[in-house]
A and B are shown apart, each in its own frame.
Chain A
Amino acid sequence: MSEHHDIPFRLNLPDFDSIHDKMDRRRFLTKTSFGLGTMALGSLLGNSCVQNSSKIITPSSGDLESDILKAIPHLAPKAKRVVYLFMSGGPSQIETFDYKPSLTNMMGQGLPDSVRNGQRLTGMSANQGILPVAPSIFKFNQHGGNKTWVSELLPHTASVVDDLCIVKSIYTEAINHDPAITFFQTGNQLPGRPSIGSWISYGLGSDNDNLPTFIVLVSKNAPQDQPLYARLWGNGFLPTKYQGVQFRSGKDPVLYLNNPDGYDGEDRKEMLEYLYKLNEQQNSAYSDPEMSARISQYEMAYRMQSSVPEVMDLSKEPRQIFELYGKDSKEPGTFAANCILARKLLEKDVKFVQLYHQGWDMHGGLPSAIKKQCKDTDQATAAFITDLKRRGLLEDTLVVWGGEFGRTVYSQGKLTATDYGRDHHPRCFTMWMAGAGVKAGFSYGETDDFSYNIIKDPVHVHDFQATLLHLMGIDHERLTYKFQGRRFRLTDVEGKVVKNILS
């Protein structure tokens, strides 16, 4: 039935006339005039430009992109993989890691102007008559070898605090969710730039040909209050194949991997081969980069048919593992199940795994909401660290935990003895990292008594991004991509590696 598939393509078949026609006068002129123009321009400019630059950049192949990629890694990497647990919505630092006991005495008093210092607030609390200081109603205890203060909301995380490098002085420029999260993931508040995972995937390539280099998992057991967009793991202007691949948070993380009963898949293979030839044909006619991206995606999808079911199969995980991660972990799509999945992906050398857990945006009713959020994530997070550590994977895996901004010390809305809310706060908040290349059992940076301003060792979002790239062996200033006439990088024109947290 499918014999005709074996007949090789012949371009003189009438079926291909339309393709031939595409190479019409107009197209010929644009293609060739551009080509000739560049050649002429090259010989005009070439000498002076190349002569001047070749003294510095040797040996140049003449292709900027490949020169940049060839120079990577710029330094010996400490981390081989990254897993980024993104707590979307802005978790409160005051209820988790930034212990401010002196606030108790100030409960209900207005936030001093000397602390706020004229800072712009969001429209949600800017018109409040008073900005009443709200201490955390949750207790803090000291944990680990360095007696680190951790909230009672995070008992499991507290038990692995000796493995964490807590940064209490991170700050951002954006005050609302979308720009802030876009800023964290892409280095720019406006959409359109590549995300961290795409940059890493572009710069370092893949360590496992059968799985995507950059995989995204979104928890389903979280309030979907603030939306997440696929552009947060998008490739921006980088070639399409470097975008993050989102796995579904259901029973089947990738749909249609299994063949229906009674179907052996032979003719699909044939169909795909045929499609590949067709795409190649288009590709050679148009040289459209989207075409090669499409071809490589199809190939990846085909390989994933065998690699994904194996990696996604949690049935072989022993009982102890599910006990370690908590009872949620048996239900696919939860944060805990995603953590196990992430560990399995890391075991397969997937380079960048990003988990998103929404629901940290607590403008009102914070005490009860944060209790639930912590309960959903704390045990699995700690289990994840423990599990990676036992397997020796923490040696070369960097774990990052954090949101897009912090929350205000004052209550948004009414402050009572048992209830309050907190507005967005970009000026200081807490993140932690663990694993490859960062100091373990270490706290960095300090905030004032109100957890409002940073008083020591500020770390900007770009500094964090620069540090992350540094740990992967990349000098953030040298990983650039030319687009629309200028070169872009993840950290724009800023970013300093935070040397003091490196081990």
Chain B
Amino acid sequence: MILSDILTFLGRLHPMIVHLPLGFLILAFLFRILSHTEKFQHLNQAVSLVLLAGTIAAILACVFGYLLSLTGEYDRTLLRNHKWMGITLALVSFVFYLLSSGRWITIPDRIFTISFTGLVLLMVYTGHHGGMLTHGREYINLKILTKNKRIKPASMDQVYLYEDVVQPIFEARCGQCHGGGKNKGGLSMESINDLLTGGKSGPALVSGHSLESELYKRITLSVSDEKFMPANGKPPLKSHEIDIIKWWIDHADGLENTKLTDIKGNDTIRNKVAIVLGMAPPQENKEEVFTAQKINPNIPQIFDSSAVENLRKKDWKVRIMMHQPAMLDLTKMASNASDIKDALADLKKLSGNIIWLNLAGDKLTEKDLAFLSDLGNLERLRLEGNPVSDELCNRLKDLNNLEVVNLNETKVSPIGLDLLKKSPSLKRIYSGDPAGK
């Protein structure tokens, strides 16, 4: 395993090393051309040496390139061509070195220079293939100059299901690994033909049957499944995108050149298509709303863990209710004035994080509880049993997120409760004597 990692690492140096033979061979060619002029005649002597350097560099590039090819993440045909051209180039360079060194056979100067041009052309073409492998077939392409970018359809009647909707989804979500010459798992997703041909797991698309189509299966697996696509933690497709792909396979038989409005029953999918094309605002997925609970956005994402440690040392129970945002539930029952005083510094550091607070007991007065005003995100407060009075209500009514407050068996009077009831966020107040003492 470690060995293969080293090999992969070396392989990845190939795109860097290939520039050495490129440079050497061009330099040799340049010297050779220039040597035909009188002024630079002497350069001819250097051609042989530079060619030797180019040959060695080319062989090295071949070896590293072979290591890179072992990772198997490339278009096979392109790769094969590139490999053999590279090897040929290295051999031809060697032959040219022998020729130029004059130790083998001598050929006329002109013929040598002309055939040297052939070597350079071969090199350029090999390099171009290499470029296509890493950047995609279409990366350097004259068509780019003339290509019409597809214009976004203006109305639903003009929408071609595959060209305008499905292919852009593929390009955005899958293109990084299954497009532009990078065919992970042997699959390209650039055209419908590519999908029908498929990859290692067979055809990706079975016309008319989404449930048999590997493509649809992979995007609908559980995220934790190792076969799930997009792989490696890339964001999963949105549910409306998945629905569109399914509908396209089932109702449009996975074909191109079909207008959305030409297919029967398109009303079910129209809204979703509109979302993808930006014609309608994204719908909130019910599932997402459910998992994303209503959470006060002012709660900080992190909390001061040393403050929590300090409180725990002082016998406070600190319960983490949520990691992000960082919501805390603090409990210190039966505490007295000095307990609170001791903890004030730490409580202050956590003031935004304290969401639930339980100080039930029988010793605290409102003087001890002045710090409550800082707890802007507090939602639940238990103070039952403590001799707190109406003055506290003044303080509590300004806590904008306080929903539940327990004032059972305290000295708070109906006047104080009326004051509290003015708080818009407060939902329930407990102010009785549950034990009936």
Residue numbers of A with Cβ under 8 A of B are 43-45, 47-48, 52, 55-56, 71, 73, 75-77, 80, 207-208, 317-318, 320-321, 349, 387, 390-392, 395-396, 473, 499
Report the minimal beta-carbon distance from A204 to chain B, rounded to whole angstroms: 8
- State in angstroms the CA–CA spacing of A317 and B5 once bound together: 71
Report the minimal beta-carbon distance from A50 to chain B, rounded to whole angstroms: 11
- Contact among B233, B319, B437 for A55, CB-based, below 8 A: B233
- State in angstroms the CA–CA spacing of A257 and B258 once bound together: 82
B329–A55 contact, CB under 8 A?
no
B404–A392 contact, CB under 8 A?
yes
Chain A residues near B320 (CB-CB < 8 A): 73
Known contacts being A318-B436, A391-B434, is A349 close to B317, with CB within 8 Å?
yes
B317–A47 contact, CB under 8 A?
no
Report the minimal beta-carbon distance from B373 to chain A, rounded to whole angstroms: 22
Known contacts being A321-B435, A473-B322, is A76 close to B293, with CB within 8 Å?
yes
CB closest residue in chain B, given A349 = B331
12 more CB-based (< 8 A) A-B contacts, given A55-B233, A349-B331, A499-B290: A47-B5, A52-B226, A76-B295, A76-B327, A207-B319, A208-B317, A317-B435, A320-B435, A390-B408, A390-B430, A392-B382, A395-B428
Report the minimal beta-carbon distance from A307 to chain B, rounded to whole angstroms: 13
- State in angstroms the CA–CA spacing of A288 and B331 once bound together: 34
Chain A residues near B202 (CB-CB < 8 A): none
Chain B residues near A395 (CB-CB < 8 A): 380, 404, 406, 428
Q: Is B291 an interface residue (CB 8 A)?
A: yes
Contacts A/B (CB < 8 Å), 21 sampled:
A47-B5, A48-B1, A52-B226, A55-B232, A55-B233, A56-B224, A71-B323, A75-B291, A76-B293, A76-B327, A80-B319, A207-B319, A318-B435, A318-B437, A320-B436, A349-B331, A390-B434, A391-B384, A391-B430, A395-B380, A395-B428
Chain B residues near A318 (CB-CB < 8 A): 435-437
- Contact among A43, A47, A80, A392 for B406, CB-based, below 8 A: A392
Q: Is B321 an interface residue (CB 8 A)?
A: yes
Report the minimal beta-carbon distance from A481 to chain B, rounded to whole angstroms: 17
CB closest residue in chain A, given B321 = A76
Known contacts being A48-B1, A318-B436, A395-B428, is A473 close to B331, with CB within 8 Å?
no
Chain B residues near A52 (CB-CB < 8 A): 226
Task: Return the 10 tightest CB-CB contacts between A and B, nearest first.
Answer: A320-B436, A390-B434, A392-B406, A392-B430, A76-B322, A56-B233, A55-B233, A391-B434, A55-B232, A47-B1
Chain B residues near A55 (CB-CB < 8 A): 232-233
Residue numbers of B with Cβ under 8 A of A are 1-2, 5, 224, 226, 232-233, 290-291, 293, 295, 317, 319-323, 327, 329, 331, 356, 380, 382, 384, 404, 406, 408, 428, 430, 432, 434-437
CB closest residue in chain B, given A45 = B1
- State in angstroms the CA–CA spacing of A391 and B266 once bound together: 57
- State in angstroms the CA–CA spacing of A385 and B356 once bound together: 22
**How many contacts between A and B, using CB within 8 angstroms?**
69
Chain B residues near A76 (CB-CB < 8 A): 293, 295, 321-322, 327
Chain B residues near A44 (CB-CB < 8 A): 1
Report the minimal beta-carbon distance from A421 to chain B, rounded to whole angstroms: 41
CB closest residue in chain A, given B431 = A392
Report the minimal beta-carbon distance from B99 to chain A, rounded to whole angstroms: 48
Report the minimal beta-carbon distance from A261 to chain B, rounded to whole angstroms: 30
CB closest residue in chain B, given A478 = B224
- State in angstroms the CA–CA spacing of A318 and B434 once bound together: 10
- State in angstroms the CA–CA spacing of A392 and B291 once bound together: 27
- State in angstroms the CA–CA spacing of A75 and B329 once bound together: 14
- State in angstroms the CA–CA spacing of A44 and B3 once bound together: 11
- State in angstroms the CA–CA spacing of A297 and B35 once bound together: 93
CB closest residue in chain A, given B379 = A76
- Contact among A71, A317, A392 for B408, CB-based, below 8 A: A392
A473–B233 contact, CB under 8 A?
no
**Most B Cβ at <10 Å: residue of A45, A47, A75, A207:** A75
Chain A residues near B356 (CB-CB < 8 A): 396
Known contacts being A391-B384, A391-B408, A392-B382, is A77 close to B428, with CB within 8 Å?
no
A80–B329 contact, CB under 8 A?
yes
- State in angstroms the CA–CA spacing of A207 and B312 once bound together: 12
Chain A residues near B435 (CB-CB < 8 A): 317-318, 320-321
B321–A73 contact, CB under 8 A?
yes
CB closest residue in chain A, given B358 = A349
Chain A residues near B290 (CB-CB < 8 A): 499
CB closest residue in chain A, given B223 = A56
Report the minimal beta-carbon distance from A479 to chain B, rounded to whole angstroms: 14
A321–B436 contact, CB under 8 A?
yes
- State in angstroms the CA–CA spacing of A281 and B380 once bound together: 46
- State in angstroms the CA–CA spacing of A80 and B356 once bound together: 11
- State in angstroms the CA–CA spacing of A87 and B436 once bound together: 30
Report the minimal beta-carbon distance from B362 to chain A, rounded to whole angstroms: 14
